[in-house]
């Protein structure tokens, strides 16, 4: 099997919502978060904006899309908006490689770190990122504070989430 990682193109975006839905099925394992498996996810039009800005990367297995990462540039960090790997492809290092792509891009932009917000206690969330070197952030930048407030407004229990940072 040949794995390829590259920037997402406008021709790729139509398949990304299906990858996100497939990745989200893992939340069915947690009764409190199972509702996330039925969420709408990110619309194709939004994916197109990330791709046009050069802030979307795609993982392909034998030329078939199996994962993606979306990011946005903050003043000192590249913020990971979404990392999704199809459920059938999880546990194979694909997420780690997509994060490496984002890290390389952040360096070219002169940014000091990667940041994200995630679930504290879900094994494939904060503990996964911690294994990659991300550290919990308690002193939030204005951008991370805004992200946490947006999550709370969308129904995520504030204490169930955390912000994390990976110095580059």
Domain tally for the chain? Answer: 1
Contact (Cβ atoms closer than 8 angstroms) between residue 98 and residue 69: yes
The domain in which residue 35 lies consists of: 3-167
- Map residue 32 onto helix, strand or coil: coil
Please report the pLDDT score of residue 115 as a whole number: 98
* Tens of pLDDT, residues 73-82: 999 999 999 9
Q: Are 5 and 57 in contact (CB under 8 A)?
A: yes
| 22-46 tens-digit pLDDT | 999 999 988 888 888 888 889 999 9
CB distance 81 to 57 below 8 Å: no
Q: Give the count of beta carbons closer than 10 Å to the beta carbon of residue 23.
A: 25
- Please state, in angstroms and rounded to a whole number, the distance separating the CA atoms of residues 14 and 20: 11
Mean pLDDT of 141-160: 92
Q: How far, in Å, CA of 19 to CA of 11, rounded?
A: 15
CATH of the domain at 59: 3.40.630.30
Q: At 1, is the pLDDT very low, low, confident or very high (cuts 50, 70, 90)?
A: confident
């Amino acid at each position: 099997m040949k794995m390829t990682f590259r920037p997402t193109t406008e021709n790729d975006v139509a398949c990304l919502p299906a990858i996100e839905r497939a990745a989200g099925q893992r939340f069915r394992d947690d009764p409190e978060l199972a509702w996330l498996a039925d969420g709408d996810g990110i619309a194709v039009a939004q994916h197109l904006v990330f791709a046009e800005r050069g802030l979307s990367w795609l993982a392909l297995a034998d030329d078939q899309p199996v994962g993606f990462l979306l990011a946005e540039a903050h003043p000192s960090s590249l913020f990971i908006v979404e990392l999704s790997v199809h459920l059938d492809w999880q546990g194979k290092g694909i997420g780690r490689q997509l994060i490496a792509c984002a890290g390389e891009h952040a360096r070219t932009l002169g940014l000091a770190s990667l940041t994200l917000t995630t679930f504290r206690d879900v094994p494939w969330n904060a503990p996964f990122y911690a294994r990659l070197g991300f550290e919990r952030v308690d002193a939030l930048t204005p951008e991370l504070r805004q992200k946490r407030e947006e999550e709370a407004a969308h129904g995520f229990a504030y204490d169930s989430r955390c912000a994390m940072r990976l110095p580059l």
